[in-house]
């Protein structure tokens, strides 16, 4: 780390929602009063012990928290280096970390008297988690999902319907996550009176990046305490995959001011960064403005947004949360990448070595964990966020492997 150290990496965002030059509020004027209201409501909720108590109760009894910290002994032996631990957020209700945030936001929606829920989804995990909490609290829910993503993630699209949500197929643009987010923003502008938009990642206009991070930080807080109990010390490295970056932000944030802990965010390199067919906004993009915030984006020379590519629908997004962009620029977190093929290999390896079928998203994190573990000594500890399970991916993986189901 050559950059000068800050007193704290956990102070952001500022009052205007900026992390350095990133973040902010780039929305249609129609939405400004709504996001200002949301900010006020969230600030009040944060200070209200009864809000946190209710959230904690649902996280424990409905989501199933705390999620275990698991020593992946067989993979540790297999790689022959650092000890590997998984934070097992794939064991949450609905199968991923997404519900941590959805539970927080639906309680906020209820508190604000909103009566209709909308969301965007890529892999469908956030859509399923949103549909789930909407069902639990009896609110109608519309989920926007790109046509291509619906095709790749059919089980999740059906799951949302079973939960009573309306899944609206998005056929504009690249027909993936970024277009689903455009459509959700358009819906929100058209339904300002009653609608709460549950954004699924640490992006969007302020206060979303901070709010989603705070709700996901339960991952890092638990993991820190669990690691102290298991090993009596902090881990040497954290690894998490990044699309928008909510699971990574949730794991990293409580550790940001622990200088001994190195952090690795793993972007999706798709067919390879050099091919241009990837979803690595930090490795292959530059700062720009999209979906309410300034952040690193995949874009052409004229500022038009380029379609991302990844085998994982959950990482297939041309942007990244603004706090990650800032942590990249101040060099607190190392951002690396893994290709489709590396993720697919790690996916299969994890299934056979640990009896855990990971989602394709954390399979990217595992692919990099393998490289890192081999480089680090056996006395070192890596903590990886197993942020989702792979049930949703088996059809796509089977097709990729040429298996007939």
CB of 261 to another protein, least distance (A): 33
Place of tokens 């292959």: 284
Which member of 182, 341, 348, 353 binds another protein (CB under 8 A)? 182
- Residue 376, CB half-sphere, CA atoms under 13 Å: how many? 21
Inter-CA distances, 4 with 169, 265, 330, Å: 47, 21, 8
CB atoms within 10 A of CB 120: 30
Contacts (CB under 8 A) with another protein, residues 34-53: 34
Q: Which stretch binds another protein (CB under 8 A): 213-221, 232-240, 271-279, 288-296?
A: 288-296
How big, in percent rounded to 5, are the helix, strand and coil portions of the chain?
A: 45, 20, 35
Binder to another protein among 13, 19, 27, 384 (CB under 8 A)? 27
Q: Does 31 engage in binding with another protein (CB under 8 A)?
A: yes
- Which SS3 state, helix, strand or coil, does residue 267 take? strand
Bridge-based pairing of strands 166-170 and 141-146 is: parallel
Six-digit token string for 325: 């962009």
Of 65, 114, 253, 291, the one binding another protein (CB under 8 A) is: 291
Cα gap 237→175, rounded to integer Å: 36
Q: Is 113 in the site for another protein (CB under 8 A)?
A: no
**Contact status: 299 vs another protein (CB under 8 A):** yes
For another protein, give the closer residue by CB, 28 or 403: 28
Q: Residue 186 Cβ, how far from another protein at the closest point, in Å?
A: 5
Site stretch for another protein (CB under 8 A), options 211-219, 225-233, 286-294, 322-330: 286-294
d(CA 167, CA 119): 10
Q: Residue 379 interacts with another protein (CB under 8 A)?
A: no
Closer by beta carbon to another protein, 129 or else 290: 290
**Cβ of residue 146: shortest distance to another protein, in angstroms?**
13
Is residue 194 near another protein by the rule CB under 8 A? no
CB 224 within 8 A of CB 230: no
């Amino acid at each position: 780390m050559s950059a000068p150290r800050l007193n704290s990496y956990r102070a952001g965002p500022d009052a205007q929602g900026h992390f350095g030059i990133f973040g902010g509020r780039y929305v249609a004027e129609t939405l400004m009063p709504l996001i200002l209201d949301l900010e006020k409501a969230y600030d009040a909720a944060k200070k209200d012990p009864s809000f946190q108590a209710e959230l904690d109760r649902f996280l424990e009894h409905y989501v199933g928290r705390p999620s275990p910290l698991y020593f992946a002994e067989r993979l540790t032996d297999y790689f022959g280096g650092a000890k590997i631990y998984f934070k097992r957020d794939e064991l949450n209700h609905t199968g991923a970390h997404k519900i941590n945030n959805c539970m927080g936001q639906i309680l906020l929606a209820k508190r604000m008297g909103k009566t209709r829920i909308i969301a965007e989804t890529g892999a469908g995990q956030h859509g399923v988690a949103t549909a789930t909490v909407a069902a639990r609290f009896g609110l109608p829910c519309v989920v926007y999902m790109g046509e291509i993503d619906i095709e790749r993630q059919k089980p999740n699209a059906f799951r949302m319907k079973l939960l009573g949500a309306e899944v609206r197929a998005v056929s504009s643009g690249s027909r993936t996550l970024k277009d689903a987010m455009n459509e959700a923003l358009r819906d929100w502008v058209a339904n300002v009176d009653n609608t709460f938009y549950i954004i699924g990642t640490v992006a969007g206009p302020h206060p979303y990046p901070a709010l989603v991070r705070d709700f996901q930080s339960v991952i890092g807080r638990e993991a820190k305490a669990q690691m102290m109990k298991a090993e009596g010390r902090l881990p040497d490295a954290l690894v998490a995959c990044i699309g928008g970056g909510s699971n990574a932000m949730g794991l990293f944030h409580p550790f940001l001011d622990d200088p001994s802990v190195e952090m690795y965010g793993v972007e999706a390199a798709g067919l390879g960064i050099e091919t241009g067919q990837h979803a690595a906004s930090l490795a292959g993009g530059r700062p720009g403005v999209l979906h309410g915030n300034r952040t690193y984006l995949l874009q052409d020379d004229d500022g038009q947004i380029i379609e991302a590519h990844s085998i994982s629908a959950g990482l297939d997004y041309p942007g990244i949360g603004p706090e990650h962009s800032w942590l990249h620029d101040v060099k607190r977190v190392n951002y690396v990448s893994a290709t489709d093929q590396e993720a697919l290999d790690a996916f299969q390896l994890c299934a056979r070595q640990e009896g855990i079928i990971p989602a394709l998203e954390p399979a990217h994190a595992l692919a990099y964990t393998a490289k890192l573990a081999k480089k680090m000594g056996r006395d070192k500890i890596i903590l990886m966020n197993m942020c989702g399970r792979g049930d949703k991916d088996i059809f796509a993986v089977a097709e990729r492997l040429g298996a007939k189901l």
